[in-house]
Each structure stands twice: as structure tokens, then as C-alpha cells.
């Protein structure tokens, strides 16, 4: 039987079909690539405030709330009054800082009337205005310590010590403390701190000198840093989280461990459970609770966990917006969490807590019995299943939060510093960073004053009436001149090359 020869038209269609299949495959491959790239920015783990496109802005949410109030016959202004938006609430009684006692009084008279140029005599009265300012450069005190040195009869050479005289370097405890605070509270890079030394103190230093000063402070505080580690180990509830923080171009992780009294940071090249062992010990107390996200290192280290509901609710909402079959899951989870947190606030007895936890556990189990079609919904159900023993710890443990927000808030400052500094450069830099970050944040959490604590630990005496510290600092000469301030006579001439 002979071969069938297709007409030219059919051959053309076959060729065109093959070309279209090839083109379609290439387009599908490109679409998959773009979707994977988009997932980096819009996914279940991206907060709504950072999502674009489908993510609603706070203004849109407020507008929708106003529309709902109007439809319900409510007062949108009343709703907005009760919100915690920026600015003081209507009806709030304003206060004014009382003026301080003046250090000097300057009486000013006018020689001529600005309207008619008539000569004026002595003023009829004075209008008082109290102005608070700082001198430029900021006065510094240079002290020469003559330390007695003598040889004891036992052969030992004794050199006298003074708490305000550091063992290394020529900068005193107050200046060392402010340098550390400007770095780890004001987030200033070393270069900008060096500029402030020139502008404000008329004392030029190099960025390397600033780095060395923070190293001296970290060396002095390292024992206190280890005390914070020990305190965290003894805590009943610990909130943990981690985020990337490069060191010398290589990926590292900054970990945070938060308790009621302490905030501990450590930087490590590992994101595994070994870091938990290094910080919390080989084995945490059996009744202690770790609050965490779904990272595998945590269940590998400890059994009693509280998984973060903020992550779960955010992912449920994200999946429900993409798949209709996930809407009931999201609704049940949000209602359940709201109900459980309200129940917890009532401070019920232990027996009621156990019963409520059992009921909530059955509710979660009911959600995962269904077979879902969409892969993302199936993954959400699997996430609920994997954490079944850890979602409801807070119901029976009154001191445990349902979310891991404490640790996440502690990491936000680290993320900001990472964006500003770009990372760390060496192991010494790691030690400085984790030590000073831990101590400054822990003091703030304990309600203590970081400048006072730093100065005290560095050996300096506390001033009797320390003025509120400003991390913004005064402006350089040109700006001071434009604002009407006099240039100090001893001020060095401003460099025309700009700040170093």
C-alpha cells in the first residue's frame, strides 16, 4: 500500500502547529520563571504592609471601614476617634514643657523704630523668651591622670587606678558610651560618627578609631552579655527568631531570644538547632516553652513549642484570597484565634483551660480531614497538621503569647541595621555587634536608661542632672549660621572639601 501524501495545506498547518507548541512551551517556561520571582515579594510570609498589587494600603482599609460604618448607620468620625492612628486623640489636653532656669540673662534693646526711624529710649518693659541651645563645639573636658607608681617591698609594682581613667585609649567613659549608643541605638555608621566628632567636638577622628572605641566597650560588657545568656536559659518562656545577616559577604544569621526581662542576640553561620544548643544549653528544661515559627530547627531541639498564629493566619488569608475552597479554613482559624485570645484574657482556671484546648484541637483536626484540590490549600492543611501539638500551648499556659511577635519585633531593629550597615566584616565585628545589641536592648526592655547603664559599667560617674540625650546632634557651622547662631571663636575653619 502506498504512502499517503498530505496536501500542501495540511503540511503548512502541521508546521505551524509545531511552531506554536514550541512557542507555547517557551512562554510557559517564562511564566513559571516570573511567578517564582514574584513569590519572593508576594507570598504567605510577606506582611500585608509590604505586599503590592492585591495588598491593601492602610488608607484603603480605613476607607472601607468608613463605608461599612455608613452602611450600618454608624458614625465614621466616632470610629476614627477610637482608632490608634497617628497624632493625639480629639479632646486630649495638651501639655507644654516648663521652661528651665536660665544660666544667663541677655537684655536686648532696640535703638530705632522700624517704622519711622525715630530714636528709642529705655524699654517700657521686657518680653521674656527662654531659649535652650548647646554651644558649638560641645565643650570637652581633658583630664590628665598622674597615676602613682611604686614598688612594694614584696617586689610587686603597683600602679594606682581611677574609675574614670580607662585602661586602654585616651577617651573617657562618657565619650565611649555615647559612641556605642550612636552606633547601636542611633544606627550611625562609623564614618558618620567620625563626622560628628569633627562637627560637634572639633576633634577629628577616623572611622577606624570609632570602631576601636566600640570594641573597647564590647570587651567591657562581655561578662554582662554572658549573664543575659544565663538569664535566658533559666526562663520559662522564650521567644525565638532568626534572620539573615551577612558577615564578610557570607550568609550568616542573627538569632534573637526574648524573655520578659532580656533580649539576647547571637550571630552564627548556622541556622540549625546547634545554635539553640549553644545559647540555651544541650537540653532545655522540660516545662519551658519555646515560641517560634515553623522552622525545623526548633522542634528538632525542644518538644514544648508554641507555633506562631500570626504566621498561620497570614498564610490562611493569603491562600483564601487565591482559592475559594480555602475561605472556610481562613474564617475558622481567624474566629478560633479571636475566641481563644478572649478566653485567655478572662484568666480561667486550669481545668477550664484544658477543656477549651481539647475543643480547639478537635476544631483544628476537623479542618484537615477534607481532601483539597489546590496544592496551596493542601499545603496549608499540612501546615496545620504538622503543628497540631504546638498551636494551642498558650491556651493552657497563661504566660505564653499566641504569636511570636516579641521575637519578631526584636529582629526588626537588626533588619534596619543590616540595611544601613550592609553587614559585618569580621569575627571581632560580630562580637561587638551581638554584645552591644544585646545590652542596649535588654536595658531598654527592663526600663533602665542605656546611657546611665553604659557609663556606670565603663567606670564613669553619673551627672547629677543629665539632660535628655539627642541622637540627632547639632548642625554644622553653615546651618548654625543660617539659623542665626554665632560661630564659636575657637571653631576650626570648615573644610571646603565637605565631611570626611
Residue 294: pLDDT band (50, 70, 90) is very high
Radius of gyration of the chain measured on its C-alpha atoms: 32
Looking at the predicted structure, is the pLDDT value of residue 54 above 60?
no
Looking at the predicted structure, is the pLDDT value of residue 490 above 70?
no
Share of the chain above pLDDT 90, in %: 61
CA 236 to chain centre: 24
Residue 184: pLDDT band (50, 70, 90) is very high
Instruction: Please identify which residue in the block is written with the cell numbers 465614621.
Output: 76
Q: Extract the C-alpha cell encoding 257.
A: 531570644
pLDDT greater at residue 78 or residue 231: 231
Mean pLDDT of 192-218: 93
DSSP string, 342-369: HHHHT---HHHHHHHHHHHHHHHHHHTS
pLDDT digits (tens, 9 = 90+) for 31-44: 888 877 776 666 66
Mean pLDDT of 449-461: 87
Number of residues that this document lists for the chain? 500
Q: Extract the C-alpha cell encoding 312.
A: 498561620
Paired strand residues for 157 = 151
| Res 466: pLDDT | 36
pLDDT digits (tens, 9 = 90+) for 324-336: 999 999 999 999 9
Q: Are 176 and 166 in contact (CB under 8 A)?
A: yes
Mean pLDDT of 263-286: 95
| Res 498: pLDDT | 41
Question: Of 145-149, 255-259, 319-323, 488-492, which has the strongest mean pLDDT?
Answer: 255-259
Mean pLDDT of 255-278: 97
Looking at the predicted structure, is the pLDDT value of residue 468 above 50?
no
CA distance 318 to 380: 10
By the 10 Å C-beta count (0-12 exposed, 13-18 middle, 19+ buried), 178 is classed as: buried
Which range among 143-152, 226-235, 330-339, 467-476 shows the weakest confidence by mean pLDDT? 467-476
Q: What is the DSSP letter of 77?
A: H
Please enumerate in sequence order all residues whose Cβ is within 8 A of that of 14, keeping only pairs 6 or more positions apart, or say none. 6
Between vectors from CA 121 to CA 120 and to CA 127, what angle results, nearest 5°? 85
Cis previous bond, 137, omega within 30: yes
Instruction: For the chain, give the mean pLDDT.
Output: 84
CA within 13 Å, CB half, 293: 17
| Res 80: pLDDT | 44
Residue 262: pLDDT band (50, 70, 90) is very high
What pTM value is reported for the model?
A: 0.75
| Res 85: pLDDT | 67
What stretches of 49-180 adopt beta strand conformation (E)? 149-151, 157-159
| Res 347: pLDDT | 94
Mean pLDDT of 431-454: 96
CA distance 403 to 284: 21
Share of the chain above pLDDT 70, in %: 80
Please enumerate in sequence order all residues whose Cβ is within 8 A of that of 399, keeping only pairs 6 or more positions apart, or say none. 236, 237
List domains and CATH numbers for the chain. 235-306+406-445 (3.30.420.10), 309-401 (no CATH)
Q: What is the DSSP letter of 247?
A: B
Please enumerate in sequence order all residues whose Cβ is within 8 A of that of 206, keeping only pairs 6 or more positions apart, or say none. 194
pLDDT digits (tens, 9 = 90+) for 387-404: 999 999 999 999 999 999
Amino acid at each position: 500500500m502506498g504512502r499517503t501524501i498530505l496536501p500542501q495545506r495540511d503540511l503548512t498547518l502541521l508546521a505551524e502547529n509545531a511552531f506554536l507548541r514550541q512557542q507555547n512551551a517557551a512562554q510557559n517556561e517564562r511564566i513559571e520563571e516570573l511567578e517564582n520571582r514574584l513569590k519572593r515579594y508576594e507570598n504567605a510570609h510577606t506582611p500585608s504592609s509590604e505586599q503590592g498589587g492585591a495588598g491593601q494600603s492602610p488608607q484603603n482599609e480605613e476607607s472601607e471601614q468608613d463605608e461599612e460604618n455608613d452602611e450600618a448607620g454608624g458614625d465614621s468620625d466616632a470610629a476614627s476617634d477610637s482608632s490608634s492612628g497617628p497624632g493625639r486623640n480629639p479632646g486630649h489636653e495638651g501639655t507644654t514643657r516648663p521652661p528651665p532656669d536660665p544660666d544667663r540673662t541677655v537684655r536686648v534693646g532696640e535703638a530705632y523704630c522700624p517704622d519711622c526711624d525715630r530714636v528709642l529710649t529705655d524699654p517700657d518693659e521686657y518680653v521674656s523668651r527662654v531659649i535652650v541651645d548647646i554651644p558649638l563645639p560641645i565643650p570637652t573636658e581633658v583630664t590628665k591622670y598622674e597615676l602613682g607608681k611604686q614598688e612594694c617591698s614584696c617586689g610587686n609594682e603597683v600602679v594606682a587606678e581611677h574609675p574614670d581613667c580607662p585602661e586602654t585609649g585616651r577617651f573617657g567613659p562618657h565619650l565611649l558610651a555615647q559612641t556605642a549608643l550612636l552606633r547601636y541605638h542611633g544606627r550611625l555608621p562609623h564614618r558618620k560618627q567620625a563626622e560628628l566628632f569633627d562637627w560637634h567636638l572639633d576633634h577629628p577622628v577616623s572611622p577606624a578609631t570609632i570602631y576601636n572605641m566600640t570594641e573597647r566597650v564590647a570587651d567591657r560588657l562581655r561578662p554582662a552579655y554572658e549573664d543575659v545568656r544565663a538569664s535566658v536559659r533559666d526562663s520559662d518562656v522564650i521567644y525565638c527568631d532568626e534572620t539573615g545577616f551577612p558577615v564578610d559577604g557570607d550568609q550568616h544569621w542573627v538569632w534573637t531570644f526574648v524573655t520578659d526581662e532580656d533580649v539576647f542576640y547571637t550571630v552564627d553561620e548556622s541556622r540549625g538547632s546547634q545554635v539553640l544548643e549553644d545559647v540555651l544549653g544541650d537540653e532545655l528544661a522540660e516545662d519551658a516553652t519555646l515560641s517560634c515559627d515553623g522552622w525545623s530547627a526548633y522542634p528538632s531541639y525542644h518538644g514544648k513549642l508554641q507555633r506562631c498564629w500570626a504566621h498561620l493566619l497570614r498564610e490562611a488569608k493569603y491562600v483564601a484570597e487565591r482559592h475559594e475552597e480555602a475561605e472556610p479554613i481562613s474564617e475558622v482559624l481567624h474566629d478560633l484565634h479571636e475566641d481563644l485570645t478572649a478566653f485567655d484574657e478572662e484568666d480561667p482556671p486550669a481545668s477550664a483551660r484544658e477543656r477549651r484546648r481539647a475543643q480547639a484541637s478537635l476544631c483544628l483536626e476537623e479542618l484537615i480531614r477534607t481532601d483539597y484540590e489546590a496544592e496551596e490549600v493542601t499545603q496549608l492543611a499540612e501546615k496545620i497538621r504538622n503543628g497540631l501539638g504546638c498551636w494551642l500551648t498558650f491556651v493552657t499556659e497563661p504566660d505564653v503569647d499566641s504569636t511570636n511577635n516579641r521575637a519578631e519585633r526584636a529582629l526588626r531593629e537588626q533588619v534596619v541595621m543590616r540595611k544601613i550597615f550592609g553587614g559585618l566584616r569580621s569575627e571581632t565585628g560580630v562580637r561587638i555587634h551581638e554584645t552591644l545589641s544585646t545590652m542596649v536592648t535588654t536595658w531598654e526592655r527592663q526600663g533602665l536608661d542605656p546611657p546611665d547603664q553604659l557609663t556606670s559599667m565603663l567606670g564613669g560617674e553619673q551627672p547629677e542632672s543629665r539632660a535628655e540625650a539627642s541622637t540627632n546632634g547639632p548642625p554644622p557651622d553653615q546651618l548654625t549660621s543660617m539659623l542665626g547662631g554665632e560661630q564659636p571663636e575657637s571653631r576650626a575653619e570648615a573644610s571646603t572639601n565637605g565631611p570626611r
